[in-house]
Amino acid sequence: MEIAIAGAGIGGLTLALSLHAAGQKHVTLFEAARELRETGVGLNLPPHAVRELTELGLGDALAQAGVKTTELAYRDPAGKLIWAEPRGLDAGYLWPQYSIHRGRLHQLLVQAVQQRLGPDAIRTGMRAVSAANRAGGRIELRVRDANANLETCIEADLLVAADGIRSAVRDSLAPRPVPLASNGWVMYRGTTTAAPFLGGHTMVIIGDEHQRIVVYPIGDGILNWLLVRPRGGEEPASELGNWNLQVAPAKLAAFVQDWRYDWLDVQELVAGSAIAWEYPMTDIDPLPQWTFGRATLLGDAAHAMYPFGSNGASQAIIDARVLAYAIGTRPDVDQALQWYEQQRRPTTAEVQTANRRQAGDVMAKISQLARQAAVSDAAQELKQTESRYKQLAGFDVDTLNTRPSWSVIEGRPAAGGA
């Protein structure tokens, strides 16, 4: 079967590796970028994502490229601890949790794809424009070839749209274009060379419902930070879904000028970045349909979500594994796509909705309790929220540790199926 993947991001690359492991040899990725470079900042891979990449044979590479996250801690704007919990192996999982530079993870996946599927498996400079189903169970992908400055058509038996939140493939197949949504908040991201804090393996969330920052290490002497706050009334609106807007770190450091603690100077951290990136908080509403004939959606194209719970990339990785499992174990591609959507669409819709709640109501309630000196109540609320979130996102300890594998070996489930 000929399979085309629009987009060679984390989700698309994981899908290619998973399909190859499931016996599919004719898989091609079409990537808009002309060059596959290490770009972006950091991301967190909880155990449910690490399990999938480990089962693809990437466990050792992840251990070398990432930093084990052993604790998640919430602190108020004064730096006072509200609640903390162990993460990864320390929490009883069979797989660790890693913090890693997005670019390093991407290159790790690119190298694995090129080694296993061949150097020509990823075609760069090929931006997906549209798609259409054809007679005989074929799908046509139209791409703009930046190298030749022309549009061309590629036919396949299956097309997977992994081309991001502003997916051209999705919008060409769906009844109407999918609008992007925002709560008016803005994310600012950066990395800084700095000394470790709180033991060197902690992810800390500092702040309240008005402003907060997430900080964690992604390498030796490198801290990743993500500052989120409402856009000021005098600030011009940015384009939704655009990751490429740069902003001066000094401007952002002024927002956290009072956030200086004996274990971390947040103002110094933000000001010390060589560059920072601005991104309006953007997601999409849960979609009523992912599959259109011989095309289906994956990752942000299917369920772009606010970056809470470390689940954007993780859910894309799980999409990839479940889709490859479905193709490897169902009688035909149509049944595989139907089963894949039944498995993934309801779950990711719940995660999207939960991330919206965490961005608003949950943080407001916790912050109010903390300000009222009801720290134990705030801690209990956080504990319950995290527990519910892990269950709906599929990474509570018992479920993840006992769930059968999504791997496929010679057309059969590797460990009993699902």
Per-domain residue ranges for the chain? 2-38+110-179+288-407
pLDDT in tens, 20-48: 999 999 999 999 998 887 677 899 999 99
In the chain, pLDDT over 70 holds for what percent of residues?
94
The amino acid at residue 6 is A
- C-alpha torsion sign, points 54, 56, 61, 62: negative
User: How many of the other CB atoms lie within 10 Å of CB of 358?
Assistant: 17
Q: How confident is the model at residue 416 (pLDDT cuts 50, 70, 90)?
A: very low
CA angle, residues 196, 202, 208, in degrees to nearest 5: 110
Mean pLDDT of 280-304: 96
Could you give the CA distance from residue 345 to residue 299 in angstroms, rounded to a whole number? 11
User: Which pLDDT belongs to residue 59?
Assistant: 97
| DSSP labels, 1-17 | -EEEEE--SHHHHHHHH
Q: How confident is the model at residue 366 (pLDDT cuts 50, 70, 90)?
A: confident
Those residues whose C-beta lies under 8 Å from the C-beta of residue 392, and which sit 6 or more positions away, are 347, 350, 351, 354
Q: How confident is the model at residue 240 (pLDDT cuts 50, 70, 90)?
A: confident
Burial 245-282 (b: 16+ CB within 10 A, else e): eebebeebbebbeebeeeebbbbebbbbbeebbbbbbb
The amino acid at residue 415 is A
Mean pLDDT of 355-362: 70
User: Which pLDDT belongs to residue 22?
Assistant: 96
User: How many of the other CB atoms lie within 10 Å of CB of 375?
Assistant: 16
Q: Residue 173: how many CA atoms within 13 Å on its side-chain side?
A: 30
Q: How confident is the model at residue 376 (pLDDT cuts 50, 70, 90)?
A: confident
- C-alpha torsion sign, points 174, 3, 100, 93: positive
Spatial strand order of the sheet with 126-134 comes to 126-134, 138-145, 150-156
Those residues whose C-beta lies under 8 Å from the C-beta of residue 221, and which sit 6 or more positions away, are 193, 194, 195, 196
Mean pLDDT of 383-394: 83
The amino acid at residue 298 is L
Mean pLDDT of 149-178: 95
Could you give the CA distance from residue 229 to residue 247 in angstroms, rounded to a whole number? 14
- Lowest-confidence pick of 34-38, 265-269, 409-413: 409-413
The amino acid at residue 380 is Q
pTM, whole model, 2 decimals?
Answer: 0.94
Candidate CATH numbers 3.50.50.60, 3.40.50.720, 3.40.50.2300, 1.10.10.60; the one for domain 2-38+110-179+288-407: 3.50.50.60
CA 354 to chain centre: 15
The amino acid at residue 19 is L
**Helix, strand, or coil here: 390?**
helix
